[in-house]
Amino acid sequence: MKIRYLEVADSIWKDKKIPMETKLIYSYIYTKGFERLLTDINVGEIQRVVNITNIDLRKSLELLE
């Protein structure tokens, strides 16, 4: 069995156009869904980790697409 390690892309962290909240949301979703096919994430879960409104959350997710 091969052990996989969590690797977040450096290009996201180095990009100045992406706000810090978006980077935190990306890392939270990435770690939550690591080695899974489906991930169930609630908006309230993300809002507990990052202090963000629903509108800003939508904008951040659109940037990540």
- The token duo for 5 is 């390690």
User: Residue 61: inside a domain, yes or no?
Assistant: yes
- Asked whether residue 9 is assigned to any structural domain, the reply reads no
Q: In terms of residue numbers, what domain contains 38?
A: 28-65
- Judge contact between 36 and 45, C-beta under 8 A: no
- Quote the number of domains for the chain: 1
Whole-Å CA distances, 26 to 30, 40, 48: 6, 15, 14
Burial of 60 (C-beta count, 10 Å sphere; 0-12/13-18/19+): buried
Report yes or no on 23 lying in a domain.
no
pLDDT attached to residue 45: 85
Q: Is residue 65 in a domain? A: yes
- Does residue 50 lie within any of the structural domains? yes
Residue 5 pLDDT = 57
Mean pLDDT of successive 10-residue stretches along the chain, which has 65 residues: 61 83 83 75 84 87 82
pLDDT digits 0-9 by tens, 18-35: 888 888 888 888 888 776
- At 49 the pLDDT is 82
